[in-house]
Amino acid sequence: MTDRQAKIAVVTGAGSGIGRAVSVELLRAGWSVVLAGRRTGTLEETAARVPQGPWLAVRTDVSRPADVEALFTAAVERFGRIDLLFNNAGTFGPGGVPVEELPYEAWRHVVDTNLHGAFLCAQAAYRRMKEQDPQGGRIINNGSVSAHTPRPHSVAYTATKHALTGLTKSLSLDGRPYRIAVGQIDVGNAATDMTARMQTGALQADGRTAPEPVMDVADVARTVRHMAELPLEANVQFATVLATAMPYIGRG
């Protein structure tokens, strides 16, 4: 399906969690959405939630440059331009593994997905936004509250989310001459499969294991849509959306 009047979004990690929720929110709001992820079946399940929405599913491993280039080429061929990249694909990696026991392969997988993948997608979007007419667009990187405050035994995830903040700032500065607005959303305890364990018990900084409150992932999706639908003359540089009572601010 094609609608040249609609805004065009590329959402990575669109087959589950926050990526699925944001894709559904954008489709319901009239956006055309290119759904990217490792499994075509889950992407199609996302699209099926808004049957009338204009969408395209593209199997993509964001850590592979050729996959990323194919994704953005397919997006432009189908819809003509790109107005938004929601740079969302990511992985926590093996949970609860002390730093001294973390295998290099696990570290590398998290870095390749969360940081290298985010860079490759941002670069591909940037190139097209710079050259398209009318020029410009928006990139929203999905950070984490771990970009500010880590959890125990999260060295790979936390390091990549700190790096993502630097990527956001640098892209935001470099995009100014080309009407490319770049911001970041840092999310804490949205209710997804990735955070399901937090409701039963998550390791705290003092060594206790305690359940944590979560929030509806739809609230994250609405925030992303608000950021996405601002005029390019305005930008939410950083937004933090979290479960109100989660142990984050102060001493928990």
Whether the upstream peptide bond of residue 134 has omega within 30° of 0, thus cis, is yes
Half-sphere exposure of 115 (CA within 13 A, CB side): 19
Alpha carbons 217 and 185: distance in angstroms, whole number: 13
Burial of 104 (0-12, 13-18, 19+ CB in 10 A): exposed
DSSP, collapsed to helix, strand or coil, labels residue 27 as helix
Alpha carbons 178 and 115: distance in angstroms, whole number: 23
**Cβ neighbours, 10 Å, residue 72:** 23
Q: Can you spell out the DSSP letters for 99-129?
A: GGG--HHHHHHHHIIIIIHHHHHHHHHHHHH
Give yes or no: 178 in active site: no
Which residues neighbour 122 within 8 Å (Cβ) at sequence distance 6 or greater? 85, 87, 139, 141, 167, 171, 182
Alpha carbons 227 and 235: distance in angstroms, whole number: 7
Alpha carbons 2 and 241: distance in angstroms, whole number: 32
Q: Which of 104, 157, 178, 248 does the annotation list as catalytic?
A: 157
Alpha carbons 127 and 139: distance in angstroms, whole number: 12
Which residues neighbour 76 within 8 Å (Cβ) at sequence distance 6 or greater? 82, 128
Which residues are part of the catalytic machinery? 157
